[in-house]
Structure 1
Amino acid sequence: MRSLSPTSPRLVWHGRDGRIELSGRVFDNWVAKSANLLVDELDAADGTVVAVDLPVHWKSLALVFACWQVGAVVVLPDGDGVPGPSVGTSADADIVLTSWAGVEVDPPRLLACVALGSLALRWDGPLPRGAVDFAAEVRSHGDVFLDAADGRASAPLVRAPGRELTAVDLAGMVALPGGHDQAAAVAEPPTLLLAPGVGLLRTLAAAAAVWERDGALVLVEEGVTVTDTMLSGEKVTDRMGA
């Protein structure tokens, strides 16, 4: 994303608090900053298990891709990544990332609280004892992550109840038009809009498929209406429903 059309939009968020557009370079910066935070503040490393208690959001994608950059395995609370405060009780997680108030974990597990307001500078309310405030800390970390894990095709990226998914498994979850047509892939990078209600697991698979084609992903928060103006303004080529 830094080297190929780095200023082109890669991730667009339509939330109740407005529209956010992230270019390839900006998204890559957020992933790198988040990866550095995971390592520096939460001791994440290759093989660390991270429970992700977050809804579909641009920050969630940055954090999950940061986990993969570090080499961590992401645990989703159910088969499609629907968040809830119970994920904090995941017994095998080394780190818990949550946007819910009131979640606490017992040592040696570590907790990061993620304020989802696009312009939020800190967690809103009392921070649980020992927790890291993602919004307050992430901007101070470096824009480049220098110790990326060696990716193995057989390594699990996501753990959901009853299954583990590798990069190959994720790639097989979403089929884009022209996905096997190299001429189409070069001529027209897709812009895929995910309707509200699509879970985090399918969102991650869609992101991987779209970005492999150098395209853009448009996410819409629950409660925001998808309009013809939005579709035309974002130049949407494909849509995925819940």
Structure 2
Amino acid sequence: MTASTAVPHLMQQLRTVNPSAPRLIWYGPNSERIELSGRVLDNWVAKTSNLLVEELDAEPGTRVSLLLPGHWKTLVWALACWQVGAVPAASPVTADPAADIVVSSDDTVAVNSPAQLLVLVALGALDLKYPGTIPAGAVDYAAEVRGYGDEFLDLPPAIEDQTAMELTDGDLSMAVLFDRAEACDWTPGGVLLVPAELPLETTLAAAVHCWTTGGTLIVVHSTVDLSADLLASERVTDRVGA
């Protein structure tokens, strides 16, 4: 599979291969558990992709600074960037000064120029709008995203060397990321548990492995007790970083 076909193939698998099966599970603070089937995950990615293109004017090569913690919505944003051909850059501290769009869960984040667009993401499962202050010109993701289409039809031209992520020490290509996912020794079609604090590129490689083999990814916040009962109830087969 070439880099230019990897993302469309991945999204098609989420839509069509046992689409009601759980593909992404989030364990967060305060006993929060969110389960997304392949169909629901694809729907979130499609809506976010449409918001990127229609509201934020994203196009192939647009640089998106993901100033977000490890979270299921961070994965949605990364997939949406891939789907529209944008380049995500993960930084938990400061916005990429060269980014066109800054996506953050913190309303105190400072953009680097008036040309940077700011999107604020509410992380709570039941949040229908951002709970803090929305600066002038910023976009409230929770309030806006549900109004966008459930399918993303505006696929960009195939990019053979599409960038999966912009890292501090250089770009990570889509081909390399998919190769990493394929070469790992995790159980194909299994249930893979990933601590939320791991680097996003590690979580994305785990996600690609899961979703291309029909498995389930579980992302767990650091405050969650990984009890034997939890691991057994979710039928976890592999743990990243364990």
- Is the structural similarity TM-score above 0.5? yes
Q: Counterpart in 2 of 1:30?
A: 44
Q: Does structure 2 conserve the Cα–Cα contact (< 8 Å) formed by 1:197 and 1:241?
A: no
> Given the alignment, which residue of 15, 18, 22 partners 1:5?
18
Q: Which residue of 1 aligns with 2:156?
A: 149
> Identity over the aligned pairs, expressed in percent?
46
Identify the range of structure 1 (127-136 vs 99-108) with the bigger mean alpha-carbon deviation: 99-108
Gaps of 5+ in 1: 78-82, 180-184
Q: Secondary structure at the match of 2:66?
A: strand
Select 1:125's aligned residue among 119, 125, 132.
Answer: 132
Indicate the RMSD between aligned Cα atoms, in angstroms.
1.6
Q: Is residue 233 of structure 1 aligned with residue 241 of structure 2?
A: no
Of 177, 196, 216, 2:185 maps to 177
User: Could you say which residue in structure 1 is the equivalent of 2:190?
Assistant: 190
Q: Are 1:101 and 2:107 counterparts?
A: yes
Question: Kindly tell me: are residues 196 and 51 of structure 1, through their superposed partners in 2, closer, same or farther at Cα, counting changes over 3 Å?
Answer: closer
- One-letter identity of the residue aligned with 1:108: A
> Does the CA contact (< 8 Å) of 1:195 and 1:220 recur in 2?
yes
* Residue 15, structure 1, aligned to residue 22, structure 2: no
Match of 2:61 among 47, 61, 66: 47
Q: Match of 2:149, SS?
A: coil
**Conservation of the 8 A alpha-carbon contact between 1:153 and 1:166:** no
- SS where residue 55 of structure 2 aligns? helix
Instruction: Compute the TM-score of the two structures, normalised by the length of structure 1.
Output: 0.88
Structure 2 SS opposite 1:74: strand
Shift of 1:196: 4.3
- Give the aligned residue type for 1:29: N
Q: Deviations over 1:188-237 (max 9, x none)?
A: x1110013432222111111121111111001012111111111111111
Q: Distance in 2 between matches of 1:15 and 1:151?
A: 36
User: Residues 29 and 198 of structure 1: is their aligned pair in 2 closer, same or farther, counting only changes over 3 Å?
Assistant: same
Give the Å deviation of 1:153: 4.0
AA aligned to 1:144 is: E
Match of 1:80 in 2: none
Offset of residue 177 of structure 1: 3.1
Amino acid corresponding to residue 68 of structure 2 in structure 1: L
| Aligned twin of 2:7 | none
Structure 1 distance, partners of 2:153, 2:196, is 35
In structure 1, how many angstroms separate the alpha carbons of the residues matched to 2:70 and 2:48? Answer: 17
Structure 1 counterpart of 2:238, which letter? D
Per-residue Cα deviation, 1:91-127 (whole angstroms, up to 9, x for no partner): 2100000011211322211110001111111111211
Q: Deviations over 1:66-99 (max 9, x none)?
A: 011010011122xxxxx12x22xx2210000001
User: Within 2, Cα distance between the matches of 1:225 and 1:159?
Assistant: 32
How far, CA to CA, are the matches of 1:124 and 1:64 in structure 2?
Answer: 23
CA contact 1:104–1:111 (8 Å) conserved in 2? no
- Asked whether the 8 Å contact 1:34–1:66 carries over to 2, the reply is yes
Q: Contact between 2:120 and 2:141, CA under 8 Å: does it hold in 1?
A: yes
Distance 1:151 1:237, change over 3 A: farther
Tell me, which stretches of 5 or more residues in structure 2 are unaligned? 1-13
